[in-house]
Protein backbone atom coordinates (compact mmCIF):
# COMPACT_ATOMS: atom_id res chain seq x y z
CA UNK A 1 0.00 0.00 0.00
CA UNK A 2 1.33 3.44 -0.93
CA UNK A 3 1.31 6.11 1.76
CA UNK A 4 1.91 9.84 1.49
CA UNK A 5 4.75 11.41 3.45
CA UNK A 6 5.56 15.08 3.93
CA UNK A 7 9.08 15.65 5.28
CA UNK A 8 9.51 18.92 7.17
CA UNK A 9 13.14 19.96 7.45
CA UNK A 10 14.96 21.36 10.44
CA UNK A 11 16.72 24.66 10.97
CA UNK A 12 19.36 25.70 8.43
CA UNK A 13 17.97 23.22 5.90
CA UNK A 14 15.66 23.19 2.90
CA UNK A 15 13.56 20.45 1.37
CA UNK A 16 16.47 19.56 -0.90
CA UNK A 17 18.44 18.09 2.00
CA UNK A 18 15.54 15.74 2.73
CA UNK A 19 15.62 14.17 -0.74
CA UNK A 20 18.09 11.36 0.00
CA UNK A 21 15.79 10.03 2.72
CA UNK A 22 12.73 10.75 0.57
CA UNK A 23 14.19 8.57 -2.17
CA UNK A 24 14.46 5.69 0.29
CA UNK A 25 10.75 6.07 1.06
CA UNK A 26 9.92 6.30 -2.64
CA UNK A 27 11.85 3.10 -3.33
CA UNK A 28 9.49 1.42 -0.85
CA UNK A 29 6.54 2.59 -2.98
CA UNK A 30 5.45 5.73 -1.18
CA UNK A 31 4.71 9.28 -2.32
CA UNK A 32 6.96 11.85 -0.65
CA UNK A 33 6.90 15.66 -0.57
CA UNK A 34 9.79 17.81 0.70
CA UNK A 35 8.67 21.46 0.92
CA UNK A 36 10.95 24.29 1.99
CA UNK A 37 9.53 26.38 4.80
CA UNK A 38 9.17 30.14 4.86
CA UNK A 39 12.38 31.54 6.29
CA UNK A 40 14.71 29.13 4.53
CA UNK A 41 13.91 30.02 0.94
CA UNK A 42 16.26 32.05 -1.26
CA UNK A 43 15.52 35.75 -0.80
CA UNK A 44 13.53 35.34 2.42
CA UNK A 45 14.02 38.19 4.89
CA UNK A 46 15.22 36.30 7.94
CA UNK A 47 14.58 39.29 10.21
CA UNK A 48 10.85 39.34 9.45
CA UNK A 49 9.85 35.67 9.45
CA UNK A 50 8.62 33.98 12.61
CA UNK A 51 7.36 30.58 13.68
CA UNK A 52 3.76 31.26 12.60
CA UNK A 53 4.98 32.09 9.09
CA UNK A 54 6.82 28.78 8.85
CA UNK A 55 3.78 26.87 10.09
CA UNK A 56 1.54 28.73 7.64
CA UNK A 57 3.86 27.86 4.75
CA UNK A 58 3.64 24.14 5.57
CA UNK A 59 -0.14 24.35 5.87
CA UNK A 60 -0.37 26.17 2.56
CA UNK A 61 1.70 23.46 0.87
CA UNK A 62 -0.51 20.69 2.26
CA UNK A 63 -3.70 22.49 1.27
CA UNK A 64 -2.49 23.46 -2.21
CA UNK A 65 -1.53 19.82 -2.88
CA UNK A 66 -4.84 18.69 -1.31
CA UNK A 67 -2.99 16.07 0.74
CA UNK A 68 -4.83 13.78 3.13
CA UNK A 69 -4.05 10.67 5.18
CA UNK A 70 -0.50 11.94 5.23
CA UNK A 71 2.41 10.94 7.40
CA UNK A 72 3.78 14.29 8.56
CA UNK A 73 7.45 13.98 9.51
CA UNK A 74 9.38 16.71 11.34
CA UNK A 75 13.11 16.79 11.99
CA UNK A 76 14.54 18.85 14.87
CA UNK A 77 13.08 22.40 14.55
CA UNK A 78 10.58 20.82 12.15
CA UNK A 79 8.91 19.35 15.24
CA UNK A 80 7.76 22.85 16.14
CA UNK A 81 6.23 23.19 12.68
CA UNK A 82 4.46 19.84 12.49
CA UNK A 83 3.06 20.43 15.98
CA UNK A 84 1.55 23.72 14.82
CA UNK A 85 0.23 22.14 11.62
CA UNK A 86 -1.34 19.23 13.50
CA UNK A 87 -3.05 21.59 15.93
CA UNK A 88 -4.49 23.64 13.07
CA UNK A 89 -5.71 20.54 11.20
CA UNK A 90 -7.17 18.88 14.30
CA UNK A 91 -10.70 19.79 13.19
CA UNK A 92 -10.21 18.09 9.81
CA UNK A 93 -10.22 14.34 10.54
CA UNK A 94 -8.37 12.30 7.98
CA UNK A 95 -5.89 14.96 6.91
CA UNK A 96 -3.09 13.54 9.09
CA UNK A 97 -2.72 9.78 9.55
CA UNK A 98 0.36 9.95 11.77
CA UNK A 99 2.90 12.42 13.10
CA UNK A 100 6.53 11.31 13.07
CA UNK A 101 9.11 13.26 15.09
CA UNK A 102 12.75 12.60 14.17
CA UNK A 103 14.85 13.83 17.10
CA UNK A 104 12.49 16.77 17.03
CA UNK A 105 11.17 19.35 19.45
CA UNK A 106 7.73 18.70 20.96
CA UNK A 107 6.53 22.00 22.43
CA UNK A 108 3.88 22.52 25.05
CA UNK A 109 1.37 25.34 24.49
CA UNK A 110 3.10 28.71 24.86
CA UNK A 111 6.63 27.28 24.65
CA UNK A 112 9.42 28.29 22.29
CA UNK A 113 12.24 26.20 20.87
CA UNK A 114 14.71 28.16 22.99
CA UNK A 115 12.79 27.06 26.08
CA UNK A 116 13.89 23.48 25.32
CA UNK A 117 17.62 23.94 24.65
CA UNK A 118 20.52 24.42 27.09
CA UNK A 119 21.34 28.00 28.19
CA UNK A 120 24.68 28.01 26.36
CA UNK A 121 22.85 27.48 23.05
CA UNK A 122 20.54 30.40 23.77
CA UNK A 123 23.53 32.62 24.56
CA UNK A 124 25.24 31.56 21.33
CA UNK A 125 22.12 32.12 19.23
CA UNK A 126 21.48 35.52 20.84
CA UNK A 127 24.99 36.69 20.00
CA UNK A 128 24.99 35.36 16.44
CA UNK A 129 21.54 36.78 15.68
CA UNK A 130 22.46 40.21 17.05
CA UNK A 131 25.44 40.35 14.71
CA UNK A 132 23.61 38.99 11.64
CA UNK A 133 20.31 40.85 11.32
CA UNK A 134 18.39 38.25 13.34
CA UNK A 135 19.66 35.25 11.37
CA UNK A 136 21.47 32.41 13.12
CA UNK A 137 24.08 29.99 11.83
CA UNK A 138 25.99 27.17 13.47
CA UNK A 139 29.77 27.34 13.91
CA UNK A 140 31.35 24.45 12.02
CA UNK A 141 32.98 23.08 15.18
CA UNK A 142 29.57 22.57 16.81
CA UNK A 143 28.12 21.11 13.60
CA UNK A 144 31.03 18.69 13.25
CA UNK A 145 31.04 17.21 16.74
CA UNK A 146 27.47 17.64 18.00
CA UNK A 147 25.30 17.38 14.89
CA UNK A 148 27.05 15.04 12.44
CA UNK A 149 29.47 13.08 14.63
CA UNK A 150 28.97 9.88 12.59
CA UNK A 151 30.40 11.39 9.38
CA UNK A 152 33.97 11.80 8.20
CA UNK A 153 35.41 15.29 7.78
CA UNK A 154 34.74 15.46 4.03
CA UNK A 155 31.04 14.70 4.45
CA UNK A 156 30.75 17.01 7.44
CA UNK A 157 32.18 19.89 5.41
CA UNK A 158 30.14 19.21 2.27
CA UNK A 159 26.94 18.96 4.32
CA UNK A 160 27.77 22.16 6.22
CA UNK A 161 28.15 24.03 2.94
CA UNK A 162 24.51 23.23 2.10
CA UNK A 163 23.12 24.96 5.20
CA UNK A 164 21.53 28.42 5.08
CA UNK A 165 21.05 31.19 7.69
CA UNK A 166 17.96 30.59 9.79
CA UNK A 167 15.39 33.17 11.03
CA UNK A 168 15.95 33.50 14.77
CA UNK A 169 12.37 34.49 15.55
CA UNK A 170 11.33 30.89 14.83
CA UNK A 171 13.41 29.91 17.87
CA UNK A 172 12.13 32.66 20.18
CA UNK A 173 8.44 32.81 19.21
CA UNK A 174 6.06 31.04 21.59
CA UNK A 175 3.90 28.49 19.80
CA UNK A 176 0.13 28.92 19.94
CA UNK A 177 -1.66 25.59 20.48
CA UNK A 178 -5.22 24.72 21.45
CA UNK A 179 -4.09 21.70 23.48
CA UNK A 180 -0.98 19.72 24.47
CA UNK A 181 0.15 17.15 21.94
CA UNK A 182 -0.65 14.34 24.38
CA UNK A 183 -4.33 15.24 24.02
CA UNK A 184 -4.36 15.22 20.21
CA UNK A 185 -6.21 12.22 18.82
CA UNK A 186 -3.84 11.19 16.04
CA UNK A 187 -1.18 8.51 15.70
CA UNK A 188 2.27 9.65 16.85
CA UNK A 189 5.76 8.23 16.56
CA UNK A 190 9.21 9.29 17.70
CA UNK A 191 12.41 8.28 15.90
CA UNK A 192 15.38 8.52 18.26
CA UNK A 193 18.81 8.59 16.62
CA UNK A 194 20.87 7.22 19.47
CA UNK A 195 24.18 9.01 18.96
CA UNK A 196 22.52 12.41 18.57
CA UNK A 197 24.20 14.86 20.94
CA UNK A 198 22.91 18.05 19.29
CA UNK A 199 21.09 18.21 22.61
CA UNK A 200 23.24 16.84 25.43
CA UNK A 201 22.23 13.46 26.77
CA UNK A 202 21.59 15.11 30.13
CA UNK A 203 18.76 16.99 28.34
CA UNK A 204 17.82 14.28 25.86
CA UNK A 205 15.45 14.24 22.92
CA UNK A 206 14.06 10.93 24.21
CA UNK A 207 12.42 10.51 26.67
CA UNK A 208 12.41 14.16 27.84
CA UNK A 209 10.61 15.47 24.74
CA UNK A 210 9.12 12.31 23.23
CA UNK A 211 7.03 11.58 26.32
CA UNK A 212 5.12 14.82 25.69
CA UNK A 213 3.34 13.00 22.87
CA UNK A 214 1.35 10.88 25.29
CA UNK A 215 0.78 7.53 23.62
CA UNK A 216 3.43 7.10 20.91
CA UNK A 217 5.46 4.53 18.99
CA UNK A 218 9.22 4.59 19.63
CA UNK A 219 11.67 3.65 16.88
CA UNK A 220 15.39 3.82 17.59
CA UNK A 221 18.33 3.62 15.23
CA UNK A 222 22.08 4.26 15.49
CA UNK A 223 23.21 7.60 14.15
CA UNK A 224 23.67 11.33 14.66
CA UNK A 225 21.30 14.27 14.44
CA UNK A 226 22.11 14.60 10.74
CA UNK A 227 21.40 11.12 9.41
CA UNK A 228 19.70 12.88 6.48
CA UNK A 229 23.30 13.32 5.27
CA UNK A 230 25.25 10.58 7.01
CA UNK A 231 22.98 7.53 6.67
CA UNK A 232 19.80 8.37 4.73
CA UNK A 233 18.92 4.74 3.91
CA UNK A 234 18.94 3.73 7.57
CA UNK A 235 16.92 6.79 8.52
CA UNK A 236 14.40 6.06 5.77
CA UNK A 237 13.98 2.60 7.26
CA UNK A 238 13.35 4.10 10.69
CA UNK A 239 10.79 6.54 9.31
CA UNK A 240 9.00 3.68 7.53
CA UNK A 241 8.82 1.75 10.79
CA UNK A 242 7.50 4.84 12.53
CA UNK A 243 4.98 5.71 9.82
CA UNK A 244 3.36 2.35 9.20
CA UNK A 245 -0.17 1.62 10.39
- pLDDT one-digit tens code per residue, 26-43: 999 999 999 999 999 999
* Burial degree of 115 (CB within 10 A; 0-12, 13-18, 19+): middle
Q: Cα–chain-centroid distance for residue 3?
A: 20
| pLDDT above 90 for 1 | no
Q: What is the pLDDT of residues 102-127, one digit of tens each?
A: 999 999 999 999 999 999 999 999 99
Please, are residues 84 and 184 in contact by the beta-carbon 8 Å criterion?
A: no
Sheet order of strands, 217-221 included? 31-33, 4-8, 70-75, 96-102, 187-193, 217-221
- How far apart CA 203 and CA 109 sit, in angstroms, is 20
Extended strands (E) in the chain: 4-8, 31-33, 70-75, 96-102, 135-136, 166-167, 187-193, 217-221
Q: What kind of architecture, by CATH, is found in domain 4-243?
A: 3-Layer(aba) Sandwich (3.40)
Q: How confident is the model over 51-92, as pLDDT tens digits?
A: 999 999 999 999 999 999 999 999 999 999 999 999 999 999
Query: Domain coordinates of the chain in residue numbers?
Result: 4-243
Tens of pLDDT, residue by residue over 118-175, are: 999 999 999 999 999 999 999 999 999 999 999 999 999 999 999 999 999 999 999 9
Q: What is the pLDDT of residue 171?
A: 99
For every residue of 97-117, which 3-state class applies, written as one string?
EEEEEECCCCCCCCCCHHHHC
For 194-244, how does the pLDDT look when each residue is reduced to its tens digit (9 = 90+)?
A: 999 999 999 999 999 999 999 999 999 999 999 999 999 999 999 999 999
Amino acid sequence: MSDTYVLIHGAWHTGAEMEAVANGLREAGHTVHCPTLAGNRPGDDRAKIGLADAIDSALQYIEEKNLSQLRLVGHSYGGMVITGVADRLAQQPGRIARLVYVNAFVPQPGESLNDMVPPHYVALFDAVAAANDQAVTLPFEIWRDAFINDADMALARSAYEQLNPHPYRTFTDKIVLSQPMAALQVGKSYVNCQQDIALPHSLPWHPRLSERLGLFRLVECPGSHEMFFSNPKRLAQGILEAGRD
